[in-house]
Amino acid sequence: MEYNYLPHTDIEVSKICLGTMTWGRQNTEEEGHEQMDYALSQGVNFFDTAELYPIPAQAERYALTETIIGNWFKKTGKRNEIVLATKIAGKAPFTKFIRETGFSRNSIVEAVNGSLQRLQTDYIDLYQLHWPERSTNYFGQRGYQPDPRDHWEDNIHQVLETLRDLIKEGKIRQVGLSNETPWGTMRFLEEGKVHPSLPRMITIQNPYSLLNRLFEVGLSEISMRSKIGLLAYSPLGFGTLSGKYLEGKPPEKARITLFPNYNRYSGDNAVAATRAYKQIADKYNLSLTQMALAFVTSRPFLTSNIIGATSMEQLKENLGSIDVVLTPEILEDIEAVHNHIPNPAP
């Protein structure tokens, strides 16, 4: 395994992070525990979760993933071996069963305390805002479109004040963003710069893969110049970049098979790009899965690559990508496809 430091900290994390959003729906608690055991044995010390998980979100399954992780901590006693990240759910129609008050002080305090209880821990290493309160381009929306129904008032100072107080209480150590835009990222960073007593956002968890390199437009420069590290999610595009959907018949129990509305990586251009990337992988005798993951892990703005799996076979292949080195020739071929079919999935 290889490691990076979370920016501006002495917290060392594995360059592959174990994602958990299927535990409690597509995976049982026993399977989640098996994944954590194996990932830790392979040098993975970074787990990412959220109060919203498992997804798709359901009231009757609310925060089951955090509960599964908490039970593993209790069973194994290995909390101190893990850098733990979780998130507060943002305001949205599909989170009304959680709360409708966004990132108000009471909401953040309630969310943190709930996560601590379920995770059976006294502290969270990295606490993230799952998506902006503003109406903006997140979750599959390619560009910003002004929404006349968006009545958001800038509360970023108040959000950071609440997070600062929770840091002082020892409940969280560091804070980060997720599904954020260049404007939002800089707004948080500038607020912290103007008011040094406020905490600094150190990471941004956004989608990034061979099918979606939109992070490179604006955010990558912010990431590198301001040292806010990318935690890349969906590095396989809901499993599309494993190539398993190219055969015509969707595999049983696969994510897109079970939840067809998760189709942002399934359009004609995305399929064409996936086929082209598969040809590159075949040319160099590589697994498409491992080539796609190795590409993400190799990016200079990457802090950690969040992989997820619903089987141990998938997990082992995903973790094995850390040993794959992409030569200049492979990267040149990848760029040729990207130039021909740039960012086919939002």
Beta bridge partners of 212: 209
* Mean pLDDT, the chain, whole residue set: 96
What's the confidence (pLDDT) of residue 264?
87
pLDDT digits (tens, 9 = 90+) for 145-177: 889 989 899 999 999 999 999 999 999 999 999
What's the confidence (pLDDT) of residue 94?
93
Is residue 90 within 8 Å of 132, Cβ to Cβ? yes
Q: Could you say which of 3, 5, 38, 53 is catalytic?
A: 53
Is residue 308 within 8 Å of 54, Cβ to Cβ? no
Is residue 206 within 8 Å of 232, Cβ to Cβ? yes
What's the confidence (pLDDT) of residue 328?
98
Per-residue b or e along 59-80, where b marks 16 or more CB atoms closer than 10 Å to that residue's CB? eebbbbbbbbbbbbbeeeeebe
Which CATH class for the 3-240+298-324 domain? Answer: alpha beta
What's the confidence (pLDDT) of residue 280?
98
Output 313 or 260, whichever has higher pLDDT: 313
Assess whether pLDDT exceeds 80 at residue 249: no
What backbone torsions phi and psi does residue 272 show, to the nearest 5 degrees? -60, -40
The C-alpha atoms of residue 107 and residue 83 are separated, in whole angstroms, by 24
What does the pLDDT average to over 242-258? Answer: 80
Sorted by where each begins, the domain ranges of the chain are: 3-240+298-324
What's the confidence (pLDDT) of residue 141?
84
Assess whether pLDDT exceeds 90 at residue 251: no
What's the confidence (pLDDT) of residue 261?
80
pLDDT digits (tens, 9 = 90+) for 24-56: 999 999 999 999 999 999 999 999 999 999 999
Assess whether pLDDT exceeds 80 at residue 136: yes
Using the 8-state DSSP alphabet, how is residue 199 labeled?
P
114: confidence class by pLDDT, cuts 50, 70, 90: very high
The C-alpha atoms of residue 17 and residue 13 are separated, in whole angstroms, by 8
Tell me whether residue 38 is one of the annotated catalytic residues.
no
Assess whether pLDDT exceeds 80 at residue 143: yes
The C-alpha atoms of residue 226 and residue 190 are separated, in whole angstroms, by 10
